C-alpha cells in the first residue's frame, strides 16, 4: 500500500470508517474529521497500512461558540514515502473532554498530548504521565482557552468591532 | 554502553556498580553544561545513569496565547525568540505561512534573498552546536575559532536589518529594503574567508583521534526510534533517514539549488556532528548559487495590505497613508482558513499551524517546535551511559531552551 495515492487513501478511509468526513481545503490539505471512538483505529490504519508513519504534530483549539463541539484536537500526519500530509480533527464537548491517547502508536505523542492537556485540559485516556508540561504544576486553569483574556477585559481600544469587523 | 542489570532487591543497577547505591543528581535548571534552562533529575549509580526525568517550561513565555492578541506583523518578533540561534529562519517561516494564507505571490528575487539569509542563519546555528560539542569534550580551541565567524554572520544580519540576534528580519511579502552594496561586499568577503577558519576547525576535530574516541557511540538512536519520536532535521538525518523539508516540500525556490542532504548511520554524537559539518558546507554551496543567480526584480511582493508603503509616500499620497494606517491598526482584510506551513529550521521541521477566523489577529497559532518534540527521547538515549556522555548527547541534539518552551 506504500504506493497509494491520495485518492486511494481517502477511498480506503471512506470504506473502513464511514463516520469520517473528508474534505480538501483551499490550500490543498486533506482534512478528516472523525469521532474520538474511531481516532485510534483510524490512525492505526493510516500508520500500518497506508504509510503514515510520522506524527508531525498534535495541538488543541478552542471554539467556544460552536455548541457541543467547543474543543478540537488536531493531528498532523505525514506519509514520508509519498509526501502526503493529512490533518485529522476530533471535536469534543466541554462537558466530556476525554480522548484516547496516541502514545502506544507514536512515542512522540507523549509530550504533545501533555502540552495539549496543559493548555486546553483535554483528558488523554491511557496516557502514561498526563501532567502539565510548560506551566507550573499548581496552576488551576487551562490558559489557552478563550475565556481567559490576555489583557484587561475593560480595555476597549482593541475590540474588533471598532475596526470594521 | 548500556550495561544495566536488576539486582536481587529488584533495583536497576549498573554492572560495574561499587555498592549498588543510587544517587539522585539534579542536572539543571541552571547548569553550565545544559546551555539553557531546563532540569534533568538523574538517578545515577556511580557514573552510570539509571534513569532521567526531564522537566521543561522554565522559560515558557506563552507565545501561542500572545499571538492571539497580536496583528500578523507583530507576531514576527515573538518568533525570533523560539530558536534564537537562527532567528531569521523562524521569521521567514512565519512570513511564508501568512503569505500562504493570503495567497500572496512573491517575486523570485525575494525567494533568493530569503534563501541567502536563512542559510547564513543555518550556518550560525550549526557552528554554535558543533563548537559546543567540542567544548563539552574539553576542546575549547575550535569554539574560539568559529565564534569569530559567527560574529561576522551577525554583522551581515546587522547590515540587512539592523539587529544581530533577535533579527525580526523581513516583512510579510518580502523584505523591508533591498540588500545594500555594503552587504553584498561583506557577504563576498565572508564567503572568501569563512572556509579558511572552518577548515581549521574541521582539522581540529573531525578526524581527531581523541575527539572521535570520545563522541563515537555516545547517545545513539536508531532511525526507526528517531522517526517514532518525531525527530526531524540533522538529528534525524544522523540516524540515517533522509528527510529534509527543503527537498521533500521545497519552499522559497529551494528546488532551484543543487545541494546534497548528508545522512549518518548510527545516530550518535559523532554522526550528528558530521551531519552538521556537512550541512554547513552545503549551505555555503546554496548561498554561492543564490548570490550568483539572484534575479532582478522587486524586493517585496505586491501585497499593499500587508507591506508598509515607503515613508515618503505616506506623507505625500492619500492611498499610501490609508494603507499605512490600516496595516498598523491591524485593519487589513484576511481570509478565514487554516494553513500548516513548515520550513527546515536549523533543528528540524519548524511548523506553523495557523487558524484565521478573518479577525485582525490569528485565532489560533501553534508552533511545531522540533526541539520540544525530540527532546522527549533524551531519557531513552542516555539510559545506561555515563554522565559525561549525557552532557555530550544533550549538546549534540542542540536543545535550545527558547524553542523547547515557546
Distance from the A163 Cα atom to the nearest Cα atom in chain B, whole angstroms: 6
pLDDT digit string (tens) for B120-141? 999 999 999 999 999 999 999 9
Percentage of chain A exceeding pLDDT 90: 68
Crossing angle for the helix pair B141-161 and B181-205, nearest 10 degrees?
A: 160
Closest chain A residue to the Cα of B358, Cα to Cα: A165
pLDDT classification of A149: cutoffs 50, 70, 90: confident
SS3 track for B21-42 = CCEEEEECCCCCCCCCCCEEEE
Q: What is the CA radius of gyration of chain A?
A: 18
- Interface pTM, i.e. ipTM: 0.92
Q: Which of B70, B366, B368 to mutate to test the interface with A (most CBs of A within 10 A)?
A: B366
**Cα–Cα–Cα angle for A147, A150, A151, nearest 5°?**
115
Closest chain A residue to the Cα of B339, Cα to Cα: A27
This prediction has a pTM of: 0.93
**Interface residues on B facing A, Cβ-Cβ cutoff 8 A:** 56-57, 60, 62, 64-66, 68-69, 100-101, 225, 227-230, 241, 243, 248-249, 329-331, 337-340, 342, 349, 351, 353, 355, 358-360, 364, 366, 368, 372-373, 375-377, 405-406
Every domain of chain B and the residues it spans = 63-405
Give Cβ neighbours of residue B169 (< 8 Å, ≥ 6 apart): B87, B88, B91, B92, B117, B157, B160, B161, B163, B175
The pLDDT value recorded for residue A160 is: 63
Provide the β-strand partners of residue A24. Answer: A30
Stated as kind and residue range, the H or E segment containing B247 is helix B245-248
The pLDDT value recorded for residue B359 is: 83
pLDDT digit string (tens) for B158-169? 999 999 999 999
Every domain of chain A and the residues it spans = 6-149
CB pair distance less than 8 Å for A111 and B376? yes
Q: Is the pLDDT of residue B17 over 70?
A: no
Nearest CB to A108; choose among B229, B353, B355: B229
Q: Name the DSSP class of B255.
A: G
Nearest CB to B331; choose among A54, A80, A164: A164
pLDDT digit string (tens) for B45-89? 888 899 999 999 999 999 999 999 888 999 999 999 999 999 999
Q: What is the CATH number of domain B63-405?
A: 1.10.645.10
pLDDT classification of A2: cutoffs 50, 70, 90: very low
pLDDT classification of B21: cutoffs 50, 70, 90: confident
Chain B CB contacts of A164 below 8 Å? 331
Tell me the mean pLDDT in the region A47-55.
91
Fold of A6-149: Beta Polymerase; domain 2 (3.30.460)
Chain A CB contacts of B338 below 8 Å? 25, 27, 87
Closest chain A residue to the Cα of B354, Cα to Cα: A61
Tell me the mean pLDDT in the region A108-123.
95
Closest chain A residue to the Cα of B334, Cα to Cα: A165
Which of B4-13, B68-77, B206-215 is predicted with the least confidence, judged by mean pLDDT? B4-13
pLDDT classification of B18: cutoffs 50, 70, 90: low
CB pair distance less than 8 Å for B69 and A150? yes
The pLDDT value recorded for residue A1 is: 44
Amino acid at each position: 500500500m506504500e504506493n497509494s495515492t491520495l485518492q486511494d487513501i481517502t477511498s480506503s478511509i471512506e470504506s473502513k470508517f464511514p463516520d469520517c468526513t473528508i474534505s480538501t481545503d483551499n490550500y490543498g490539505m486533506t482534512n478528516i474529521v472523525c469521532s474520538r471512538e474511531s481516532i485510534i483505529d483510524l490512525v492505526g490504519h493510516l500508520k500500518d497500512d497506508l504509510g503514515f508513519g510520522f506524527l508531525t504534530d498534535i495541538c488543541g483549539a478552542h471554539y467556544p461558540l460552536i455548541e457541543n463541539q467547543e474543543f478540537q484536537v488536531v493531528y498532523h500526519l505525514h506519509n514520508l514515502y509519498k509526501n502526503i500530509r493529512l490533518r485529522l480533527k476530533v471535536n469534543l464537548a466541554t462537558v466530556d473532554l476525554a480522548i484516547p491517547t496516541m502514545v502506544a502508536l507514536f512515542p512522540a505523542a507523549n509530550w504533545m498530548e501533555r502540552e495539549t492537556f496543559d493548555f486546553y485540559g483535554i483528558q488523554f485516556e491511557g496516557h502514561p504521565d498526563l501532567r502539565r508540561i510548560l506551566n507550573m504544576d499548581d496552576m488551576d486553569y487551562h490558559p489557552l482557552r478563550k475565556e481567559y483574556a490576555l489583557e484587561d477585559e475593560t480595555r476597549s481600544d482593541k475590540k474588533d468591532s471598532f475596526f470594521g469587523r | 554502553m548500556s550495561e544495566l542489570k536488576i539486582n536481587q532487591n529488584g533495583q536497576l543497577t549498573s554492572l560495574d556498580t561499587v555498592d549498588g547505591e543510587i544517587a539522585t543528581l539534579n542536572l539543571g535548571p541552571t547548569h553550565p553544561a545544559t546551555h539553557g534552562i531546563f532540569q534533568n533529575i538523574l538517578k545515577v549509580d556511580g557514573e552510570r545513569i539509571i534513569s532521567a526525568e526531564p522537566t521543561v517550561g522554565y522559560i515558557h513565555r506563552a507565545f501561542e496565547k500572545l499571538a492571539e492578541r497580536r496583528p500578523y506583523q507583530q507576531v514576527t518578533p515573538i518568533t525570533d525568540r523560539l530558536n534564537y540561534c537562527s532567528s531569521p529562519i523562524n521569521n521567514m517561516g512565519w512570513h511564508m505561512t501568512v503569505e500562504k494564507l493570503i495567497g500572496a505571490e512573491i517575486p523570485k528575487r525575494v525567494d533568493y534573498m530569503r534563501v541567502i539569509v536563512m542559510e547564513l542563519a543555518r550556518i550560525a546555528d550549526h557552528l554554535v552546536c558543533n563548537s559546543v560539542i567540542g567544548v563539552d569534550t574539553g576542546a575549547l580551541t575550535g569554539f574560539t575559532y568559529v565564534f569569530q565567524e559567527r560574529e561576522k554572520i551577525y554583522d551581515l544580519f546587522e547590515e540587512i536589518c539592523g539587529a544581530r540576534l533577535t533579527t525580526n528580519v523581513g516583512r510579510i511579502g518580502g523584505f523591508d529594503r533591498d540588500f545594500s552594496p555594503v552587504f553584498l561586499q561583506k557577504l563576498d568577503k565572508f564567503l572568501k574567508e569563512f572556509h579558511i577558519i572552518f577548515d581549521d576547525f574541521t582539522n581540529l576535530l573531525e578526524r581527531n583521534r581523541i575527539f572521535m574516541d570520545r563522541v563515537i557511540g555516545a547517545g545513539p538512536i536508531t532511525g526507526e526510534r528517531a522517526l517514532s519520536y518525531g525527530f526531524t532535521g540533522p538529528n534525524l538525518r544522523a540516524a540515517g533517514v533522509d528527510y529534509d523539508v527543503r527537498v521533500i516540500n521545497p519552499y522559497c525556490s529551494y528546488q532551484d539549488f543543487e545541494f546534497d542532504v548528508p545522512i549518518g548511520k548510527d545516530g550518535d554524537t559523532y554522526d550528528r556532528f558530521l551531519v552538521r559539518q556537512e550541512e554547513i558546507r552545503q549551505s555555503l554551496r546554496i548561498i554561492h548559487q543564490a548570490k550568483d543567480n539572484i534575479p532582478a526584480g522587486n524586493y517585496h511582493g505586491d501585497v499593499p495590505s500587508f507591506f508598509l508603503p515607503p515613508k515618503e509616500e505616506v506623507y505625500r499620497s492619500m492611498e499610501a497613508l490609508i494603507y499605512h494606517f490600516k496595516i498598523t491598526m491591524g485593519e487589513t482584510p484576511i481570509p478565514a482558513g487554516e494553513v500548516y506551513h513548515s520550513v527546515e529550521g536549523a533543528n528540524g521541521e519548524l511548523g506553523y499551524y495557523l487558524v484565521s477566523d478573518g479577525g485582525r489577529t490569528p485565532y489560533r497559532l501553534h508552533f511545531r517546535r522540533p526541539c520540544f518534540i525530540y527532546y522527549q527521547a533524551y531519557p531513552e538515549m542516555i539510559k545506561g551511559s555515563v554522565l559525561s556522555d549525557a552532557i555530550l548527547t544533550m549538546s549534540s541534539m542542540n536543545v535550545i531552551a527558547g524553542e523547547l518552551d515557546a
